[in-house]
Amino acid sequence: MTGAAQPPADGAARKPVTRRGQQPCSGPPKRRGAAYDRRPGAGPGRTPRGTQRHGTGRRPVRVILPDEPPTLTPAAARALLRVLLKAHTRHQRKENQ
């Protein structure tokens, strides 16, 4: 359908979404930005969200080990062995540099 939009059948006039006329192929009107960010900043005496206590080299690692190791299929065991060997090789190269 081209041209101006037809009024509803009941005769009531529709309010335009925006002041600018909408074409059938135009997208919805864009919202304006909010007056301020929705997430509040850190309160007094608190550290901002982005800070990290430890540097990237000293970051603690938590490992939770089960009581018994899980049973692996032969394909999963080979994949795990490849990952471990690759990590070991990278570690050795890093120490030698």
Task: List pLDDT tens digits, range 31-70.
Answer: 777 676 666 666 777 766 665 666 667 777 888 888 998 8
Total-model pTM: 0.32
For 16-84, the DSSP string reads PSSSSPPPTT--PPPPPPPSS-SS----TT---TT--SS-TTS--------SSPPP--HHHHHHHHHHH
pLDDT for the residue numbered 45: 74
Q: Which two tokens stand for residue 39?
A: 């997430």
Question: What integer pLDDT is reported at residue 70 of this predicted model?
Answer: 82
Which pLDDT band, with edges at 50, 70 and 90, does 79 fall under? very high
